[in-house]
Amino acid sequence: MVLLQNKKCIISLYVIFLKNEWIDSVIFDLMFQKILIANRGEIAVRVIRTCREMGIKTVAIYSEPDRTSPHVLKADEAYCVGPAPSAKSYLNIPAILDILKKSKTDAVHPGYGFLSENCDFAQAVKDSGTAWIGPSTEVITTMGDKMAARKFAIQADAPVVPGTTEPLVNIKDAQKTADKIGYPLLIKAAGGGGGKGMRIIQSEKDLEDAMSRAKSEAEKAFSDNRIYMEKYLEQPHHIEIQVFADNCGNTVSLGERECSIQRRYQKIIEETPSPFIDDNLRQELSNTALNITKSCNYTGAGTVEFLIDKYNNYYFLE
């Protein structure tokens, strides 16, 4: 059975069965019995650990070189999904769906990266009759795609870094856009994050090569070579607001994380509260984050990320 995420449903069941010996078995039947984790590494290990604590069986997938990785050894079941390249393994939707069918799992947890923001994968999982642990396909379409998220933020009256809302197609159009925005610039992948497909461009002579490399890297990481451009803010503070939203329209912000210490666009340290922002800015960021979360009907846990310049101007990032 699919896990009931509505608190009222769970509370009602407890009231009905409070004095009934069947309560334990009924509540257990409401949970997933087996979950496939469509990911690898630390995120997969964490999901497996949580599932084990909840009495839920887990299914791991792995590429050929990962056959002895911790997530494979810790899962109840494990299936090889393909050779080393991500495009042929962790991004191989048909192969993962085949394993999903073989393993007879109730739900898929995508983790982060890889296919976690791929609407086609989420929809394919749902079409197979399996539950998708994550935001709806509509939300993924809107917010998982970086350019679409920028468009949505603009419609929600959130400030965004100056840049494009359409993919860069050729070098001539990119040069024209770059001249309007001004250097330095940042080339980014539309279909994913984690620093993949990201390049800083200081001058026009670097633009064509950076676009080519970013496209190639984005294709390998996300099976999506679309890239876009935005103004590069030098030495900004990277602040994330943690949000949670349930299926009843309740949304809450749990404060900020200071994520400015990075290497290769990857966060090394997350600190809370941020020593950089004051209470007024903290409240403004939280209000903006909640507005965006509610506006796109997001459900589950998520982060709304911002960049803050030296003048305390903040911009929606993703």
Alpha helices in 3-69 (DSSP H): 7-17, 23-29, 41-54
**How much is the mean pLDDT over the chain?**
86
Whether the pTM exceeds 0.85: the reply is: no
Inform me whether the pLDDT recorded for 286 exceeds 50. Answer: yes
Q: What residue ranges in 213-299 does DSSP mark as E strands?
A: 227-231, 237-245, 251-258, 262-263, 266-267
Does residue 171 register a pLDDT over 80? yes
User: What is the tens place of the pLDDT at every residue in 39-70?
Assistant: 999 999 999 999 999 999 999 999 999 999 99
Q: Render pLDDT for 175-195 as a digit per residue (tens, 0 to 9).
A: 998 999 999 999 988 877 667
Any residues with CB less than 8 A from the CB of 106 and at least 6 apart, and which?
1, 2, 32, 33, 34, 35, 130, 131
Residue 7: which pLDDT band, with cuts at 50, 70 and 90?
Answer: very low
Q: Is the pLDDT of residue 2 over 50?
A: no
The pLDDT assigned to 107 comes to 95
User: What pLDDT, in 10s, does the model give residues 116-156?
Assistant: 888 899 999 999 999 999 888 888 888 877 888 888 999 98
- Flag whether pLDDT at 28 surpasses 70: no
